[in-house]
C-alpha cells in the first residue's frame, strides 16, 4: 500500500481516505477500495484514472537523467504518476487547496460530499455535482469552515459551464477561461488543468515548488523540465514536501 500513498493522498487528489488495510474513495458513482496498483488494472474506470496508457517508465528515465535532484526524487518515488481526475472535482478541490494543507483540504472535501452529495453506500457520499452544490448557501459553507473560499465555490458553481469543451482549447486559452472564476489565479488554474484535464504541459508553482526552483534551479526557464514538466513538478513537490532537499 505504501507505493500508493503518495499518489492517492499526496496532494493531487483529496478523494481518497486511508482505511488502514486499503485506500477508499467514491468515484464514478461507487466506492472503490484498493491495496495495490494491480487493483487499478482490474477495473476499466480505474485503469484510465490511474493513467496506465502513459509511458511512465520512459518519462522517469528522461527525468532522472536531467540532474541529481530529479534523479533522487525519481529514486524515492519510482511509481509516482498523475491521476486522471474529473475536471469538476479538481476545480472545487483546488479552490479548497488555497492557503491550506492536505489534511484539512481532504476534510473539507468530504464535508462537502456529506452535506450535498449522494450517498452511494452507508457512510460514503459522492462528490456533489454542480447542480447538487448549487443548493449550498454562503452561510452553510461558512458553517462547514471553508473560510474565504465560500464565495469562490459559489462562483465556480455558477460558472461550471466554463468546463464544457475546455479540453479542446489550447493551454493558455484554457487557463484564461478558468481564471474567469472568482478566486482562481495562475496556480489553481494550472492545478485544475493538470489534475482535472491531464494537461501534462502544466507546471503549478506553490510554496514548495517555488523554494525548490529558487534553491536548485535559479535563473532556469521552466522549459528546462520539458518534455515532462508536469511529472517533474510532481516529483519535486513530493520530494521536497516529504523528504526535504539538502
The whole-angstrom separation of Cα 228 and Cα 60 is: 9
Cβ(136)–Cβ(152) below 8 Å:
no
Residue 89 grid coordinates: 472535482
Residue 70 has pLDDT above 70, yes or no: yes
Mean pLDDT of the region 24-50: 97
Least confident of 40-49, 89-98, 110-119, 237-246: 237-246
Cβ atoms of 109 and 15 closer than 8 Å: yes
Is a pLDDT exceeding 60 seen at residue 246?
A: no
d(CA 27, CA 48): 12
Segment 172-191 shows an average pLDDT of: 97
Residues contacting 244, CB < 8 A, separation 6+ = none
Asked if residue 243 has pLDDT above 80, the reply is no
- Between the alpha carbon of residue 244 and those of residues 80, 114, 191, 218, 237, the distances in Å are 17, 35, 22, 18, 10
| 90-99 pLDDT per residue, tens | 999 999 999 9
Average pLDDT, stretch 144-172?
A: 97
How does residue 2 score in pLDDT terms, banded at 50, 70 and 90?
A: confident
Q: Which of 133-147, 178-192, 230-244 has the lowest mean pLDDT?
A: 230-244
pLDDT digits (tens, 9 = 90+) for 189-228: 999 999 999 999 999 999 889 999 999 999 999 999 999 9
Burial class for 99, CB neighbours closer than 10 Å (0-12, 13-18, 19+): exposed
Q: Which band of pLDDT confidence, cut at 50, 70 and 90, is reported for residue 241?
A: confident
| Dist CA 4 CA 145 (whole Å) | 29
Residue 167 has pLDDT above 60, yes or no: yes
- Which pLDDT score is estimated for 244? 65
Residue 180, CA distances (Å) to 92, 159, 174 in order: 14, 9, 10
Mode of pairing for the β-strands spanning 23-27 and 119-121? unpaired
227: preceding bond cis by omega (within 30 degrees)? yes
The strands making up 23-27's β-sheet, listed across from edge to edge, are 17-18, 23-27, 30-34
Residues labelled catalytic: 187
pLDDT over 90, % of the chain: 94
Each as own residue / partner, the long-range contacts of residues 49-55 (CB below 8 Å, 24 or more positions apart, any chain) are 49/83, 49/84, 49/85, 50/81, 50/83, 50/84, 51/81, 51/82, 51/83, 51/84, 51/198, 54/81, 54/82
Spatial separation of the C-alpha atoms in residues 99 and 39, rounded to whole Å: 33
Q: Cell 476499466 belongs to which residue?
A: 44
Q: Stretch 98-116: mean pLDDT, rounded?
A: 97
Query: How high is the mean pLDDT of the chain?
Result: 96
Q: What pLDDT is recorded for position 135?
A: 97
Amino acid at each position: 500500500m505504501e507505493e500508493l500513498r503518495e499518489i492517492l493522498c499526496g496532494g493531487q487528489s483529496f478523494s481518497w481516505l486511508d482505511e488502514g488495510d486499503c485506500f477508499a474513495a467514491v468515484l464514478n458513482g461507487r466506492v472503490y477500495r484498493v491495496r495495490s496498483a494491480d487493483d487499478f488494472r482490474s477495473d476499466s474506470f480505474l485503469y484510465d484514472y490511474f493513467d496506465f496508457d502513459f509511458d511512465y517508465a520512459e518519462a522517469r528515465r528522461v527525468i532522472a537523467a536531467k540532474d541529481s535532484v530529479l534523479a533522487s526524487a525519481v529514486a524515492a518515488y519510482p511509481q509516482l504518476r498523475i491521476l486522471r481526475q474529473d475536471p469538476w472535482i479538481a476545480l472545487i478541490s483546488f479552490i479548497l487547496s488555497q492557503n491550506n494543507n492536505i489534511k484539512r483540504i481532504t476534510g473539507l472535501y468530504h464535508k462537502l460530499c456529506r452535506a450535498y452529495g449522494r450517498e452511494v453506500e452507508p457512510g460514503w457520499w459522492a462528490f456533489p455535482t454542480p447542480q447538487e452544490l448549487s443548493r449550498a448557501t454562503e452561510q452553510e459553507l461558512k458553517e462547514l469552515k471553508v473560510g474565504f473560499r465560500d464565495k469562490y465555490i459559489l462562483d465556480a458553481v455558477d460558472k461550471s459551464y466554463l468546463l464544457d469543451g475546455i479540453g479542446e482549447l489550447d493551454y493558455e486559452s484554457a487557463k484564461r477561461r478558468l481564471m474567469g472564476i472568482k478566486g482562481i489565479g495562475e496556480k489553481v488554474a494550472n492545478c485544475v488543468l493538470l489534475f482535472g484535464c491531464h494537461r501534462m504541459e502544466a507546471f503549478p508553482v506553490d510554496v514548495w515548488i517555488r523554494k525548490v526552483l529558487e534553491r536548485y534551479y535559479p535563473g532556469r526557464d521552466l522549459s528546462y523540465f520539458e518534455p515532462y514538466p508536469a511529472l517533474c513538478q510532481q516529483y519535486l513537490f513530493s520530494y521536497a514536501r516529504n523528504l526535504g532537499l539538502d
